[in-house]
Structure 1
Amino acid sequence: MSAGASPVPAMSGTGYASCHHGEILQGVFLDARGRRCAALVTLPLTGLGTRADAVLRPGAGPGCHSVDPPDRTKALRAAALALRECRARRPQSALGGLELRLSGDVPLGLGMGSSSSDVIAAVRAVADACGLRLPSRTVARIAVRAERASDPLMLDGRPLLFAQREGRVLEVLGDALPPAVVVGCALGGGRPVDTLSLPVPAYGDDDVRAYERLRALLRRAVTEGDTQLLGHVSTESARRAQRVLRHREFDRLTRVAGRTGAVGVQIAHSGSVAGLIFDPAAPDLEARLRRCVRALNHEAIPVTRTFTTSTTSTTSTTSSTTSEESRHGRAHRRRDRPARPDTPGRRARLSAL
């Protein structure tokens, strides 16, 4: 900087990303070229998420970056990659050091996409500070580079078959999931799962055929709004995942589902969060939900929250939508906030487990 020149002011931005409630379907599938791809379909969940605040200090040296909390290294890596991307799009920008701060209420290690939520919020915050809004495909590419595999939280709320290690959509299954009410719970006492310690499953031709069959059934469930079929797909996917996860409560969970009239169960394939899926059109729904909660408590499986896949049910404590704008918020709106611990109308908080 020349003598007498005014210092370049710091630039700040915010970003927000919600989490999910584990997977409806996860396995190995064929892409359009017939190549095997690991992919998943997540169950959206709003009301929990990560807020990122980024401050860019042009006077600081390049690479002078920090994050709070300091253990969120994936988010910091993503923020640095986003900064490089923004610099390529606006070469005239004087981008120097980066200060990143993360806050939110997504439980860690339960398979709810906490690291993806951190990463995507961080990318959005940096882009906001640079006066940019990066395309979702760019955010996905950065997220995969930062954490090796990413959940599709940067995309809209439609049911997507997403190749998490490649950051690309294999198929848009439809406009919205069938209507469902989900009673959430946590297996293993809600203890975090070390996903890096899980064995890598070896998939054969029979596995590919089985997952492709479930993919076709899920596509039909979405097209026809068939909640019963949604529950079947989710249960079968969860059952196949037990070869790796081996949840001790899995059989008890399915028995509770059968006794209380749930159409199926849903389990995070890399964590301990789970849910029992109910058809909102079922007779005596409220009574079924109460029986389900009592049965889970009797089995010593902690109940967490009840939510829906639509915005119209009166039993919902959180809801998913089909709009990226409403799910994640505009990156540059400072009013975006993750839900606070005193948010009313919630039966339980996962973060308290």
Structure 2
Amino acid sequence: MIPRAAAATTTPGTITGTGQAPCHHGEILQGVFLDAAGRRCAGLVTLPMAGPGSSAAFVRRPGAGPGALTVVPADRTKAARAAALTAAECARRTGQPPCGGELRLSGEIPVGLGMGSSSSDVIAAVRAVADSYGLRLDPPTVAALAVRAEHACDPLMLGGRPVLFAQREGRVLEVLGPALPPLVVVGCALGGGAPVDTLSLPAADVGRSDVRAYERLRALLRRAVATGSAELLGAVATASARRGQRVLGHPEFDALTALARRVGAVGVQIAHSGAVAGVLFDPTAPGLRRRVRGCLHALDAHGIPATRTFTTGTTPAHAKEIPHHGPAHRGVDRPAGPGTPRRPARLPAL
């Protein structure tokens, strides 16, 4: 916990805090790994993406009971739970009685595509409530609150560093390095962009050989980060995506990997809990523009909708944490306004 100055009071008796959180573009690697104690642990490495995220504003009302907490839009129940848990934690740390208030969320992250929409909402809510108490919670605390609120969360509270993250426990299994190798990603949506209900997916049967395979991919990804190899990263992402098809079973997967080979991409990555996918390119490869154009034409020919093309890697936006705390603390964030229902199957295009 980092104490901060009190957040701004907007009207008598209320105190407002704000928070933000980014999204991601699905996973590079996801599976079951061994932690430092040799225990099996579900883990993932996400692909960071600058762009749409969640913003939250929490209007704290001292004197209102802790049960008097509302959220707008009303369907963001996970974020509401996170706000209530955070309010109780912050009240305990500051010696104040817990109270209610109103949480308002806005954002343009599509739901169901595997881009971390619920985690982004939850983390933004945690930061906004903490901001209203004049606190900045450290990432492990934010992660613990997020897991309590939604049972699993993505590592969006950690900035752009590549980490192997235990999403059901809210802890880092390994920091893989300072930044991923630079990539150009041509994003697309499989299954016509239809949302994926992850709770309805069958549980994967993971045996010893699977854990050994995931550990080999972990070692290869560690080497890719250490050497800055986009080619090796692409191989890891493709292998992880292929293993994920045992559960997801995207009918376009074979076509996607084949067209990636034809246009000279280093691989593909697919969200393991959604429909978003990306064709990965080494930005230093000759004829990059031609390769990307060929990829877009091939996606169109196969009826796979392209979404956005973006870069990731060692740029400053991804090499350090994105500013995410309220104007009372950092002077950089805009307060969140009322949210509108998210469009379920669209990604903003560049």
TM-score w.r.t. structure 1 length? 0.90
Counterpart mapping for 1:1-353 below 5 A: 9-91=13-95, 93-310=96-313, 320-324=317-321, 327-332=322-327, 333=330, 335-337=332-334, 350=347
How many residue pairs match? The answer is: 330
The alpha carbon displacement at 1:160 in A equals: 0.1
Deviation at 1:111, TM superposition (A): 0.2
Percent sequence identity over matched residues? 67
Give the Cα separation in 2 of the matches to 1:106 and 1:328: 18
- The structural deviation recorded for 1:46 is 1.5
User: RMSD over aligned Cα, in angstroms?
Assistant: 2.0
Deviation at 1:202, TM superposition (A): 1.4
The residue type equivalent to 2:27 in the other structure is E
The gaps in structure 1 that reach 5 residues or longer are 1-6, 313-318, 341-348
Q: Aligned in 2, Cα 1:244/1:178: closer, same or farther, shift over 3 Å?
A: same
For residue 60 of structure 2, what is the amino acid of its counterpart? L
Change (3 A) 1:303 1:16: same
Determine if contact 1:105/1:338 at 8 Å carries over to the other structure. no
Cα pair 1:57 1:96 within 8 Å, conserved: yes
2:57–2:336 Cα contact (<8 Å) kept: no
Map of 2:5 onto structure 1: none
Give 1:214's aligned amino acid: L
Contact kept in structure 1, 2:326 and 2:332, CA below 8 Å = no
Contact 1:48 1:338 in 2 (8 A): no
Letter matched to residue 207 of structure 2: G
Per-residue deviation, 1:156: 2.3
The 3-state SS of whatever aligns with 1:101 is strand
Q: Distance in 2 between matches of 1:338 and 1:98?
A: 16
SS of the counterpart of 1:48?
strand
**Per-residue Cα deviation, 1:309-339 (whole angstroms, up to 9, x for no partner):** 1365xxxxxx851212xx2423445642599
Aligned mates of 1:59, 1:134 — CA distance in 2: 23
> How many Å apart are 1:95 and its aligned residue?
4.1
Distance in 2 between the 1:297 and 1:328 partners?
Answer: 36
Q: Which stretch shifts more, 331-340 or 225-234?
A: 331-340
* CA displacement, residues 80-138 of structure 1 (integer Å, 9 cap, x when unaligned): 000011011101x3542120010010000000000000000000000001100001000
Partner amino acid, structure 2, of 1:191? A
Contact 1:133 1:331 in 2 (8 A): no
Q: Deviation string for 1:42-61 (max 9, x for gaps)? A: 00011110000100111322
- Matched-pair contact (CA < 8 Å) for 2:23–2:48: yes
Q: Structure 1 residues 196, 291: CA separation in 2 closer, same or farther (over 3 Å shift)? A: same
In structure 2, the CA distance between the partners of 1:186 and 1:334, relative to structure 1 (3 Å rule), is farther
Distance in 1 between residues matched to 2:306 and 2:79, nearest whole Å: 30
Q: Letter of the aligned partner of 1:231 in structure 2?
A: G
Q: CA deviation at 1:63?
A: 1.3
Unaligned stretches of 5+ residues in structure 2: 1-10, 338-345
> Partner amino acid for 2:307?
T
